[in-house]
Amino acid sequence: MALGADRYASRADTLLFLGCVGLSVAAMSLPDNWRDPIAQGLRQTVLAPFLALQQQTELLSAARAHYDAVVAQRDSAVLAATFLPELRSENGRLRSLLGLGVRLAWGYVPAEVLHQPEPTNPLTFVVSAGRRNGVHPLSPVVSPEGLVGVVATVDAKTSVVLTWANPEFRASAIAADGSVSGIVAPHGAAGPEVWLLELQGVPYRQQVPEGTVILTSGLGGVFPRGIPIGTVVGLAGEAKGWERTYLIRPAIHPAALSHVMILTAVRGPGSDLRGAFQADSVHP
Amino acid sequence: MRKTDRYRYVLILVGLVVLHFTVRERLGGDRIAPDFLLLALLIYTVRAQPGRSAAAGFVVGLLRDALTPASFGAGALAHTLVGYLSSWAKAVFFAENVFVNGCLFFAGTWLRNLVVLLASGRLGGAQLGWELLVWSPLQSLTTAAVGIVVLWLFGRWLAIRLGDA
């Protein structure tokens, strides 16, 4: 079919175009409590088979990687078995390499990150675990490196995660040695310090040395205490001599994630997850 | 166009949608991997009327917004504009060769990212610059490359004649 110059936009085309633009602008103006059910409805109906397809592909990919790892481990085991005296020390080494899931022990759900190509994907992304897996809104989302974000909305089989990079993200934080506390928020989108966090509200008299590890404080009831957020890399600013703000290098960038863990169980106020992250998390 | 070509045409568009949700993540990072969904829309707009292209763009954009709620509505607006302008530009320029189609895919992808970034208002400053001048051109380039391959392989099924560049 040859395309001809007679295919310029007709009046009907222009009206349809303007209608679509109007609807798009209306969609952008919707408040969150209207917008979320619409997005949720689309994910659970039209997009459900495609998300399932993407999830299965992720599983297949993970299974292939896992297969290679299993084969490598099997070969290692065969080799180790030929040297029985060394088996115990090998066993001890493998125990020390057990992952975050074992250290967390309970109350978590693993999920694949279903990345999308939009530039705003690191701000919110969809994961392959939902209400049926026990996920609920405000469930903390972590990786072996540290804090990723929090669950914003939950569907039956998927959830939307609001990452630390999202301008709406906040977390109550504390230095690893307990000396300083404050609120962690994204640093902003401009300047050379993009994709950094900042620790706000630190009293002016308290200095936070570079390299200090910042953890969640457990205050606020959303994040359990002890999840690594990042490390202090410098001073961001001072507010009229009564508080300081420090820049934090996050433990993990959302775009680098393929799998996450969603903490589904509500842990007691005295619980501390510091031990679960010690082996994998940020270091000064 | 023969009747069987119509089914093949739909099959190619469906194939691109399936590729988007299966192999795209294995073709590089999120920000540079080709956008098969947008490519399907752009190929559709080559043949469709501008109004229908805008409507198709709106539907595709709204569905994508459901997957990235950080910019809800921005995707719908961006895809509507890209769909309409792509269809209109094809009619105006009337050129059907590899270079023009490649440019169309490149410009469409870059324009989509530009509108999403500006309409969502989530990024600014250096980050916006990096997205628009580095990552978006790379993604546009990969999308255009895949688009050219698709047209080269299935141009006849899509009823698009490719002349010399």
Q: DSSP characters for A230-277? A: EEEEEEEEEETTTEEEEEEEES--GGG-SEEEEE-SPPPTT-B-HHHH
CB hemisphere CA count around A165 (13 angstroms): 25
**Is residue A36 predicted with pLDDT exceeding 70?**
yes
Residue of chain A nearest B54, judged by CA positions: A17
Q: Nearest 5 degrees, angle CA B109-CA B111-CA B112?
A: 65
In B, minimum Cα distance to A25 occurs at B73
Give B74→chain A minimum CA distance, Å: 6
Residue with tokens 């590089």: B28
Looking at the DSSP bridge assignments, the partners of residue A244 are A202, A238
pLDDT, tens only, A112-132: 888 777 777 778 889 988 898
**How much is the pLDDT for A259?**
81
Tokens of A271: 């619980």
- DSSP secondary-structure letter at B2? -
According to DSSP, the residues that pair with A213 across neighbouring strands are A231
Instruction: Give contacts of A58 with chain B, Cβ < 8 Å.
Output: 25
What is the SS3 assignment for A214? strand
Q: Burial letters for A204-218: b for 16+ Cβ neighbours within 10 Å, e otherwise?
A: eeeebeeebbbbbbb
Q: Tell me whether residue B149 is exposed, middle or buried, using C-beta atoms within 10 angstroms of its C-beta: 0 to 12, 13 to 18, 19 or more.
A: exposed
> CA A185, CA A105: separation in Å to the nearest integer?
29
- The pLDDT of A254-281, averaged and rounded, is 74
Over residues A185-207, the mean pLDDT reads 79
Map tokens 């916006």 to a residue: B128
**Stretch A137-145: mean pLDDT:** 89
Mark yes or no for CB contact B123/A121 under 8 Å.
Answer: no
**Is residue A95's pLDDT more than 60?**
no
Averaged pLDDT, A234-258: 83
Which pair of tokens denotes residue A251?
């433990």
Minimum distance, in Å, between the CA of residue A269 and any CA atom of chain B:
31
B76-101 pLDDT, tens digit per residue, is: 999 999 999 999 888 777 666 788 88
- What is the pLDDT averaged over residues A1-29? 78
**Residues in B touching A1 (Cβ below 8 Å):** 1, 47, 159-160
The answer to whether A117 touches A255, Cβ cutoff 8 Å, is no
pLDDT of residue A83: 64
pLDDT by residue for chain B (165 residues), tens digit each? 566 667 788 889 999 999 998 888 778 777 888 999 999 999 999 888 899 999 999 999 999 998 887 778 999 999 999 999 999 888 777 666 788 889 999 999 999 999 998 888 777 777 788 888 999 999 999 999 999 999 888 877 776 655 443
Query: Which residue type is seen at A119?
Result: P
Could you give the 3-state DSSP secondary structure of residue B120? Answer: helix
Cα of B113 to nearest chain A Cα, Å: 7
Q: Is the dihedral of CA B28, B31, B32, B35 positive or negative?
A: positive
The token pair that represents A88 in the structure block: 């115990």
pLDDT at A168 over 80: yes
Which residue in this structure is represented by tokens 């294995």? Answer: B26
* Cα–Cα distance, A181 to B34 (Å, whole number): 43
Q: How confident is the model at residue A237 (pLDDT cuts 50, 70, 90)?
A: confident
Task: Give the Å distances, CA to CA, from A159 to A28, A65, A139, B131.
Answer: 21, 25, 10, 26
Residue A197 has pLDDT above 70, yes or no: yes
- With an 8 Å Cβ cutoff, are A118 and B71 in contact? yes
| Residue in the structure block whose two tokens are 């065969």 | A78
Structure tokens at B67: 């997957």
pLDDT, residue B1, reads 56
CB-based burial of residue A5 (10 Å sphere; 0-12 exposed, 13-18 middle, 19+ buried)? exposed
Chain A interface disruption, residue of B49, B67, B97, most A CBs within 10 A: B67
